[in-house]
Amino acid sequence: MMFNKRTSPYVTGKQDVSVIMRQVLYALVPGTLVLIWYFGWGMISNLLLAIVFAELLEWGMLTLRQRPVRPFLSDYSAVVTAWLLAVAMPAFAPWWLIALAMVFAVVIAKHLYGGLGYNPFNPAMIGYAAMLVSYPVQMTIWPAPLDFSFAHIGLGQAVQQVFAGGSQSWDALTAATPLDAVKVNLGLHKTLNEIYANGQFGLLAGQAWQWVSMGWLLGGLWLLWQRIISWHIPVALLGSLALMAGIFWMINPQVYASPLFHLFSGAAMLGAFFIATDPVSASTTPLGKLYYAGGIGAFTYIIRTWGGYPDAVAFSVIMLNMAVPLIDYYTQPRVYGTKRQQG
């Protein structure tokens, strides 16, 4: 008997985990290429180490849990986690720092909760936040992106830096990120005009970081076009962050940075399109996504401005991950044909 397979409940099956994860990896390429342009082997080593450690830990945990190894290793979920963590870590990060971050991401944040699909928190952000709290010095030492000597450091020097600690002379080539520079100098009672006079800053934000953010934006728009993610979370997160920044910027533009600076600094674009949109740990209802992402944007601005860390996307995502069950419970759409109960 022949029947029409084009109608529900049949689905095409094209959007399986591996396909979605590959699309995310493709979208990460533009921003990653910009990072490699500025940091050379420092960012390449981050990526290679993170992916190797992630796959080894994934294999080890699947073996211990007596789960099939090949299907999960080939779904690229561990690679996406590793990639997101690698681009968030400082270039030329020590190998042990990346390894420890991957333990927190893959073992603790993912498999101890039951594996892919059961983790309540974004694994990459758990790994990043754990390292930032535990090793603040190593996590805040970034090479100065405007010094292209870093981009031209050879493979041998990069290996020495990553595995043996490198040379103390590299300290002269490090610099604070734009967010950190603004936060520290405002604490020294400098105005934003005085801070921006530093050659580290460009038209939108930091000279290098604004282009990195452009890369994440380009990849994020491609994910929207491919319908891998919906517009709700990126628009709500960036809109909330821009709204709060705009309000305080209009009150005192010499003390509070502009909305454009906040949008194109730090991990705002990366968080809006690649981190907060994690289909497992994010809110799932249309209205809930707006509340969830709006909260992330608001907390990001609050922590950046008055908190102890210059960037706050990781902490904001983790806090709103905790609120997702409550958000989803109260934002369930009404079932068609039913009436809302009164009282």
Quick one: pLDDT at residue 145? 67
Residue 14 pLDDT exceeds 70: no
Tell me the pLDDT band of 69, cut-offs 50, 70 and 90: confident
Domain ranges, ordered by start, for the chain: 16-175, 177-332
Question: Where is 174: in which H helix or E strand?
Answer: strand 174-175
SS3 of 316, please? helix
Residue 6 pLDDT exceeds 80: no
Residue with tokens 């210059």: 310
Give the C-alpha separation, 301 to 311, whole Å. Answer: 9
Quick one: pLDDT at residue 149? 46
Quick one: pLDDT at residue 122? 94
Give the C-alpha separation, 115 to 131, whole Å. Answer: 21
Quick one: pLDDT at residue 334? 72
Read off the pTM: 0.86
Quick one: pLDDT at residue 194? 76
Share of the chain above pLDDT 70, in %: 86
Residue 264 pLDDT exceeds 50: yes
The average pLDDT across 167-172 equals 49
